């Protein structure tokens, strides 16, 4: 046996092992997701959320909404957030040094006045220029912070410093949050005994093409264009299957930056959001978990499958590419910062399961796929490919991927059934069939570019211009 | 490969058929709902003159519909919903209809189920429909292994027997979640008969969550007579109990409350200290001025602000303490004092 054949065999068997473990993990995720969603739905059918809505015992929640150059939509967005049903609530909008008229629009619309306010420095941040509150008692829940630009993580940290409640809910200001979202998010913090719930995530859904009126989602529609539709399917898969499954075994590493609730005391103890990464949402959850593990405090990170938050997905390849590039860099940076936990038994599930899974199957999957593709091309050019075997394997892997997506659609239909028209379901199935040929390769390529950009030390956030719900509504009316 | 494609097609067809059936089922449910609204209206406005033996007249269509399990369950759901939102004769009539149609037996079957969500549903239905004859069976479940069954049984007992139903607090060895405490407090808010002697016993319970719940009842019902029994809870080893003690004292404080609070202050966590400062502010006694003034020098800015707020609440005497504080012109005291003063005038 020569060196080439040894190398070839090693390569082949490693790839086989990798693929088998990956596919098995998908099957396990599907099973765990079914069990967790079933448990949640059964339990939720007994829950009367109005109990919390009217109770003076409801824990305090501060919504933190960073805004940067959101002048076009900020007034509507804040109005929508102010209409959320929750008794013990404050809404903190952080103007992160916007260059547009975002702050002025808020001042005019909500009769804001600069107040004397001592900002604690629990977490170090860039300077705060002023704190504003409304002179109109109707808007007494609103606090607007004007600060020097420092990025999303810095803005959220300022929000944490200013907040006065026990829990913080970090959101993207342009998201549409369901009216009862906080009642549902508060429940895991109150209903869990024996362990401290340090964070809770909510499902984020795609709002492109949905009907939005007065900052509220009134009708769900599946997007007419392919890219948002592919992301709709991707989000259903990720949130309804992936995160629910990880949540079942208390091994969740990521809560979306668009909508997540945190125990403020632990966030501050951990030092708040990290400026040094573009994946600050994932990094915070990993650090909070690490903090609890190192102190041997029993804890949980929970997830709610109800569609509570709706966001606009990128509808152009350019913006989508930037987003995925950033997500990849964020994941690499986060895993790099916490590499001490990898396969470290002191960190239990976190170190022995979550971290290695993310490293092997979230971070490395695009690299393995890309390398595999290059090797396949080379082998094809050199005539080393057994084509019948190749097509059999390709067919299997494509069918598996499509089947997994269709299973996610089935779960959606059996649970929340947001897209209840048969035509919408058929469109989703068609998207699932097309996704491996169009959407997936692009996402893999964006991840490869994320790796390259990280090596070249490019750490920009990447501009994420959006069409905006209001703009789309106007177009639709035109 | 062929298996995969076959499965794929099968799931897709299943989804489409499921959607069609679901729509059909929804139409059927709506039809039934319309049919039932007539029966429920007849029951609500039925004049039975206090008799439990009276029979509410029903249409043939409704009686025929009862053969269908889906119809029966919908009727139970509608009765439970109606009973929750009605009182007086109308509510009693719904119970009468529930018993008349033998729906209590269906709920009892659920109570006997080994599956937790069915058992819990049975408890909920039986409690709302006032099936007191089953109280012993439900009471046994107040310490059940499954949390949801336990919670539903506890709520059911309180719904049926009000404050008396809380006797399960004497025996439970599992924690009562904060969510469940909120639910129980809401149920109790509508019921008379709070017994302070019982609450006093629970204030020394070995189960921390029972102790916290008792403290919440003290606050909710302003049980001033339990002030002296609440004070020892300030020395409890667990911070959540101490925190609730301070919060409850806020609702029942007297002129003697300040001293024990000041005595334990230095041994508390920061959130507890902050709540103590807030309470001392509410008490507003000038005697606490010197203590509060000392806290202005604390390393923790939150506590400085808490102490300043408390002094401001004291009036002119407190303001004088702020003005006399040697570092009042320096950062961060200048900003903290300014905020406290502005808040007071706002």
Is a pLDDT exceeding 90 seen at residue A15?
A: no
Res. A462 pLDDT band, cuts 50 70 90: low
Tell me, yes or no, whether A250 lies in a domain.
Answer: yes
Please give the Cα distance from B291 to B280 (Å, whole number).
10
pLDDT of residue A463: 63
Tell me, yes or no, whether A168 lies in a domain.
Answer: no
DSSP letter string, A367-417:
HHHHHHHHHHHHHHHHT---HHHHHHHHHHHHHHHHHHHHHHHHHHHHTT-
B254-346 under CATH 1.25.10, yes or no: yes
pLDDT of residue A216: 86
pLDDT digits (tens, 9 = 90+) for A123-132: 999 999 999 9
Please give the Cα distance from A226 to A442 (Å, whole number).
13
Res. B314 pLDDT band, cuts 50 70 90: very high
Q: Which residues contact A452 (CB under 8 A, 6 or more apart)?
A: none
User: To the nearest whole percent, how much of chain B has pLDDT over 70?
Assistant: 98
**Residue among B19, B177, B186 minimizing CB distance to A191:** B177
Q: Which domain holds residue A262?
A: 1-46+175-478
Please give the Cα distance from A264 to A272 (Å, whole number).
9
pLDDT of residue A466: 62
The answer to whether the CB of A450 falls within 8 A of the CB of A324 is yes
pLDDT digits (tens, 9 = 90+) for A357-367: 999 999 999 99
Tell me, yes or no, whether A273 lies in a domain.
Answer: yes
Q: Which residues contact A281 (CB under 8 A, 6 or more apart)?
A: A170, A254, A255, A256, A257, A260, A330
Please give the Cα distance from A434 to A263 (Å, whole number).
41
Supply angle C-alpha B85, B86, B91, rounded to 5: 130
How much is the average pLDDT of A195-203?
96
Q: Quick one: DSSP state of residue A339?
A: G
The lowest-confidence range among A406-420, A455-469, B93-107, B298-312 is A455-469
Domain total in chain A: 1
pLDDT of residue A311: 93
How much is the average pLDDT of B119-140?
96
**Residue among A59, A116, A400 minimizing CB distance to B4:** A400
Which site among B8, B155, B158, B269 would you substitute to test the A interface, given the most A Cβ atoms closer than 10 Å to its Cβ? Answer: B8
A387 close to B (CB below 8 A)? no
Please give the Cα distance from A405 to A433 (Å, whole number).
9
Res. B8 pLDDT band, cuts 50 70 90: confident
Res. A458 pLDDT band, cuts 50 70 90: confident
Tell me, yes or no, whether A146 lies in a domain.
Answer: no
The answer to whether the CB of A366 falls within 8 A of the CB of A448 is yes
pLDDT of residue B56: 82
Is a pLDDT exceeding 70 seen at residue A476?
A: no
Query: What's phi and psi for B17, nearest 5 deg?
Result: -65, -40
Res. A475 pLDDT band, cuts 50 70 90: very low
Q: Note the pTM of the prediction, 2 decimals.
A: 0.92
The lowest-confidence range among A218-227, B43-52, B108-117, B309-318 is B43-52
Please give the Cα distance from B217 to B199 (Å, whole number).
8
Mapping DSSP to helix (H, G, I), strand (E, B) and coil, where does residue A314 land? coil
How much is the average pLDDT of B215-242?
97
pLDDT of residue A4: 79
Task: Kindly report the three-state secondary structure assignment for every residue of B70-105.
Answer: HHHHHHHHHHHHHHHHCCHHHHHHHHHHHHHCCHHH
Tell me, yes or no, whether A65 lies in a domain.
Answer: no
**Residue among A59, A187, A406 minimizing CB distance to B8:** A406
* Helices A152-162 & A280-294 angle (0-180, nearest 10): 50
| Beta bridge pairs of residue A203 | A307
Res. A3 pLDDT band, cuts 50 70 90: confident
Q: What is the mean pLDDT of chain B?
A: 93
Helices vs. strands in chain A: H and E counts, helices first: 18, 12
Peptide bond into A274 cis (omega under 30): no
pLDDT of residue B54: 75
How much is the average pLDDT of A433-447?
97
pLDDT of residue A477: 41
A473 close to B (CB below 8 A)? no
Domain boundary assignment for chain B: 254-346
**Residue among A187, A395, A425 minimizing CB distance to B179:** A187
Is a pLDDT exceeding 50 seen at residue A201?
A: yes
Please give the Cα distance from A111 to B323 (Å, whole number).
32
The answer to whether the CB of A160 falls within 8 A of the CB of A64 is yes
Please give the Cα distance from A36 to A305 (Å, whole number).
9
Q: Quick one: DSSP state of residue A166?
A: S
Q: Do A413 and B302 touch (CB under 8 A)?
A: no
Which residues in chain B are closer than 8 Å to A414, comparing Cβ atoms? Answer: 18
Is a pLDDT exceeding 50 seen at residue B214?
A: yes
Q: What is the largest CA-CA distance in chain A?
A: 83
The lowest-confidence range among A128-137, A300-309, B84-93, B269-278 is B84-93
The answer to whether the CB of A341 falls within 8 A of the CB of A347 is yes
Tell me, yes or no, whether A58 lies in a domain.
Answer: no
Q: Do B342 and A116 touch (CB under 8 A)?
A: yes
> Which of left, alpha, beta for B87 (phi over 0: left; psi -120 to 50: alpha)?
beta
Q: Which residues contact A235 (CB under 8 A, 6 or more apart)?
A: A203, A204, A205, A206, A313
């Amino acid at each position: 046996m020569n060196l080439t054949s040894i190398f070839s065999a090693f390569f082949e068997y490693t790839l086989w092992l990798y693929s088998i473990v990956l596919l098995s993990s998908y099957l396990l995720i599907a099973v765990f997701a079914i069990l967790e969603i079933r448990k949640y739905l059964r339990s939720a059918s007994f829950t009367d959320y109005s109990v919390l809505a009217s109770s003076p015992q409801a824990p305090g929640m501060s919504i933190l909404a960073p805004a940067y150059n959101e002048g076009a939509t900020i007034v509507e967005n804040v109005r929508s957030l102010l209409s959320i049903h929750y008794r013990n609530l404050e809404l903190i909008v952080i103007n992160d040094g916007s260059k547009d008229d975002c702050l002025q629009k808020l001042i005019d619309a909500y009769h804001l006045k600069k107040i004397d306010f001592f900002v604690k420095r629990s977490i170090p941040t860039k300077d705060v220029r002023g704190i504003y509150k409304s002179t109109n008692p109707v808007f007494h829940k609103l606090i607007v912070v004007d600060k020097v630009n420092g990025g999303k993580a810095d803005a959220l940290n300022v929000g944490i410093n200013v907040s006065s409640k026990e829990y913080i809910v970090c959101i993207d200001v342009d998201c549409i949050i369901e009216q009862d979202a906080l009642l549902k998010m508060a429940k895991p913090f109150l209903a869990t005994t024996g362990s401290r719930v340090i964070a809770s995530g909510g499902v984020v859904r795609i709002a492109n093409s949905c009907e939005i009126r007065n900052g509220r989602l009134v009708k769900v529609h599946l997007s007419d264009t392919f890219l948002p539709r592919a992301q709709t399917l991707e989000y259903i898969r990720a949130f309804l299957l992936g995160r629910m499954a990880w949540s079942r075994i208390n091994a969740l590493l990521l809560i979306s930056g668009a909508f997540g609730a945190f125990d403020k005391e632990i966030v501050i103890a951990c030092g708040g959001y990290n400026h040094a990464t573009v994946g600050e949402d994932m990094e915070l959850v990993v650090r909070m978990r690490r903090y609890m593990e190192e102190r041997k405090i029993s804890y949980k990170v929970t997830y709610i499958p109800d569609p509570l938050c709706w966001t606009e997905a990128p509808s152009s390849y350019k913006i989508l590419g930037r987003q995925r590039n950033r997500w990849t860099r964020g994941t690499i940076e986060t895993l790099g910062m916490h590499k001490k936990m990898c396969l470290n038994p002191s960190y239990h599930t976190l170190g022995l399961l979550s971290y290695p899974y993310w490293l092997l199957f979230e971070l490395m999957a695009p690299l393995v796929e890309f390398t595999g593709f290059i090797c396949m091309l080379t082998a094809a050019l050199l005539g080393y490919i057994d084509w019948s075997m190749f097509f059999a394997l390709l067919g299997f892997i494509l069918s598996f991927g499509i089947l997994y997506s269709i299973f996610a659609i089935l779960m959606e239909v059996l649970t929340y059934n947001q897209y209840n028209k048969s035509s919408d379901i058929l469109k989703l199935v068609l998207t699932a069939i097309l996704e491996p040929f169009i959407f997936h390769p692009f996402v893999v390529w964006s991840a490869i570019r994320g790796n390259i950009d990280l090596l070249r030390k490019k750490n920009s956030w990447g501009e994420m211009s959006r069409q905006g719900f209001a703009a789309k509504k106007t177009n639709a009316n035109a | 490969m062929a298996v995969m494609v076959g499965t794929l097609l099968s799931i897709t067809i299943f989804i489409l058929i499921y959607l069609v059936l679901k729509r059909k089922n929804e139409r059927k449910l709506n039809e039934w709902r319309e049919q039932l609204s007539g029966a429920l209206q007849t029951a609500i406005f039925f004049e039975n003159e206090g008799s439990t033996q009276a029979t509410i007249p029903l249409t043939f269509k409704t009686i025929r519909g009862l053969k269908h399990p889906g119809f029966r369950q919908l009727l139970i759901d509608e009765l439970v919903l109606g009973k929750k939102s009605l009182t007086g004769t109308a509510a009693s009539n719904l119970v009468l209809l529930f018993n008349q149609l033998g729906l209590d037996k269906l709920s009892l079957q659920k109570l006997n189920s080994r599956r937790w969500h069915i058992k819990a549903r049975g408890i909920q239905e039986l409690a709302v429909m006032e099936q007191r004859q089953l109280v012993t069976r439900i009471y046994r479940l107040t310490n059940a292994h499954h949390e949801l069954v336990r919670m539903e049984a506890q709520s059911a007992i309180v719904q049926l027997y009000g404050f008396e139903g809380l006797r399960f607090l004497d025996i439970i060895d599992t924690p009562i979640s904060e969510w469940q405490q909120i639910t129980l407090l809401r149920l109790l808010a509508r019921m008379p008969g709070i017994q302070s002697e019982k609450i006093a016993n629970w204030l020394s319970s070995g189960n921390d969550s029972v102790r916290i719940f008792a403290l919440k009842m003290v606050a909710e019902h302003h049980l001033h007579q339990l002030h002296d029994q609440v004070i020892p809870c300030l020395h409890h080893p667990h911070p959540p109990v101490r925190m609730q003690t301070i919060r409850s004292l806020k609702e029942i404080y007297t002129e003697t409350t300040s001293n024990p609070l000041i005595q334990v202050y230095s041994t508390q966590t920061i959130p507890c200290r902050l709540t103590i400062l807030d309470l001392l502010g509410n008490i507003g006694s000038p005697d606490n001025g010197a203590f509060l003034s000392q806290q202005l020098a604390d390393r923790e800015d939150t506590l400085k602000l808490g102490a300043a707020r408390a002094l401001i609440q004291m009036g002119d005497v407190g303001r004088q303490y702020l003005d006399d504080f040697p570092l009042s012109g320096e950062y961060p005291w200048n900003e903290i004092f300014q905020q406290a003063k502005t808040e007071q005038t706002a």
